[in-house]
């Protein structure tokens, strides 16, 4: 047992252990930096040195707020975080929502559904989402819920006020989370 303490207490052996650890860390860090430089060069070679913006500019040239979206299809992911989006689409066609330990609020009050059946696939695990839709939208909920809930807080419109030319179907899976559908 004494040899064990002598072996690890000898400073010469400790030096070589530290050298191996430092070399390993430097190899890992150098590999990551080279990989980042290579992918950056490939991006510039493919796209040039352009500046990209996720949000379109208005006619006056001013950039819109970061929470507005003008896309017809959504693809929202919130993992350990959250977000809010106001969807401005004249032809909304559905999309995907994924929330894991996070939340997402989507406001469709300034949108119109595309004709036919449109689908939103929503997956929430320890997370949640809220959809605020116009009161005349025809919404069908088909979500599997395990230790979670989906709540439809909308008032039921009359048949004359309901839009029967298009339908929004919400499908997906909720576990230990929830979803709300509201209209104001």
Shared-domain flag, residues 77 and 111: yes
* Distance between CA atoms of residues 17 and 23, nearest Å: 10
The predicted pLDDT at position 67 comes to 62
Number of domains in the chain: 2
Q: Is the pTM of this model over 0.85?
A: no
Domain with 38, as residue range(s), is 2-47
Asked whether residue 90 is assigned to any structural domain, the reply reads yes
Shared-domain flag, residues 90 and 166: yes
* Distance between CA atoms of residues 164 and 181, nearest Å: 19
Asked whether residue 55 is assigned to any structural domain, the reply reads no
Shared-domain flag, residues 38 and 77: no
The predicted pLDDT at position 42 comes to 47
Shared-domain flag, residues 79 and 145: yes
Q: Which residue has the tokens 């913006």?
A: 53
Q: How many CA atoms lie within 13 A of 92 on its CB side?
A: 28
Least Cα distance to 103 among 133, 79, 122 occurs for 79
H-helix or E-strand containing 40? helix 11-47
Shared-domain flag, residues 39 and 93: no
Would you give per-residue pLDDT tens digits along the chain (184 residues)?
Answer: 555 555 556 556 677 777 788 887 877 776 554 444 444 454 454 444 444 434 443 444 433 444 666 778 888 888 888 888 898 888 899 899 999 999 999 999 888 898 899 999 999 999 999 999 988 888 899 999 999 899 888 887 666 567 778 899 999 999 999 999 998 7
């Amino acid at each position: 047992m004494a040899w064990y303490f002598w072996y690890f207490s000898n400073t010469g052996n400790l030096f070589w252990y530290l050298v191996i650890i430092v070399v390993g860390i430097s190899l890992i860090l150098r590999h990551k930096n080279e990989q980042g430089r290579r992918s950056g060069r490939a991006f510039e070679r493919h796209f040039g040195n352009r500046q990209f913006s996720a949000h379109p500019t208005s006619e006056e040239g001013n950039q819109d707020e970061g929470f507005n979206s003008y896309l017809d299809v959504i693809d929202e992911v919130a993992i350990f975080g959250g977000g809010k989006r106001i969807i401005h689409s004249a032809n909304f066609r559905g999309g995907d929502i994924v929330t894991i330990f996070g939340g997402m609020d989507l406001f469709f009050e300034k949108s119109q559904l595309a004709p036919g059946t449109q689908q939103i696939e929503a997956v929430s695990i320890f997370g949640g989402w809220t959809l605020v839709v116009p009161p005349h939208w025809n919404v069908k909920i088909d979500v599997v819920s395990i230790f979670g809930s989906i709540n439809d807080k909308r008032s039921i419109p009359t048949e004359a006020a309901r839009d029967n030319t298009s339908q929004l179907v919400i499908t997906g899976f909720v576990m230990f989370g929830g979803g709300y559908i509201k209209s104001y």
